[in-house]
Amino acid sequence: MSAPADPTSPPSRARIPLRRLAPLAIIAALTVLALAMGWHRALSLPVLIEHRAEVERFVSEHWVAAIAAYVGLYIAVTALSLPCASFLTIFGGLVFGVVTGTVTSLVGATAGATVIFLIAKSALGGWLVRRAGARIEKVAEGFRADAFNYLLFLRLVPFFPFWLVNLVPALCGVPLRTFVIASALGMIPGSFAYTFFGAGLDSAIKAQNATWHLVAGLIALGLLSLVPIVVKRLKAARRQSQPSGQA
């Protein structure tokens, strides 16, 4: 008969059941397989445009099914972190138009990101952060304290790997509601920009000078989202610097 577990042993030594890691391992294996087989190349912009006529014919004849297929494909691409989501967004604008393309790509991206978030949170939760040490745990606490603003910033500024922004909040214990709302709001400008470009792809070359203005606008929005965090930190520092008896 095996000896009972020692209740006094530190929680950081606890092992994660393999069944909790199975979904994350399956996603990782599918990602490696998709990249190794080159399936993502079928969703490159030149290939998508090559099949534009067939896709538009299907959209005109089966609009609801086309929308469902596009959203489902977008969820899969996002969940597997394949490097073709931006091309898919552009193509969505080309075949669906700005409004429908933005909404469908946003729904697909948010749903796909949420899938990875839930799988990572279920598999690892805060375990990895606790194992990493006190310094990482302190960073995680800071992230959780301003999770909405941090996530909004990371989504607005497209300089951070999308898959990383999905994983870090899960490992830090960010609530699902906060993750979904902040992610959806933060991805609106990028989704709209790529879809707008796709909707006017035929004349995009004429508007190429606006690209740097768009990037600058996204960076400005991202910096703006950090203002509440900075204000909060300044207020906290001011309170700590004041004498205990001072209001």
Note the pLDDT tens digit of each residue in 38-82.
888 889 888 988 888 899 999 999 999 999 999 999 999 999 989
- What gap in Å lies between CA 9 and CA 163, rounded to an integer? 34
Of the given ranges (77-86, 91-100, 148-157), which has the lowest mean pLDDT?
Answer: 148-157
- Give whole-number Cα distances, 25 to 19, 52, 77, 114, 119, in Å: 10, 35, 17, 17, 10
What is the per-residue pLDDT for 71? 97
Q: Where are the domains of the chain?
A: 19-200+208-240
b/e map of 200-235 (b: 16 or more CB within 10 Å)?
A: ebeeeeeeeeeeeebeeebeebbeebbeebeeeeee
What is the per-residue pLDDT for 247? 47
With cut-offs at 50, 70 and 90, classify the pLDDT of residue 216.
low
Q: State which amino acid sits at residue 38.
A: G
- What gap in Å lies between CA 4 and CA 234, rounded to an integer? 50
Mean pLDDT over all residues of the chain?
A: 78
What is the per-residue pLDDT for 92? 93
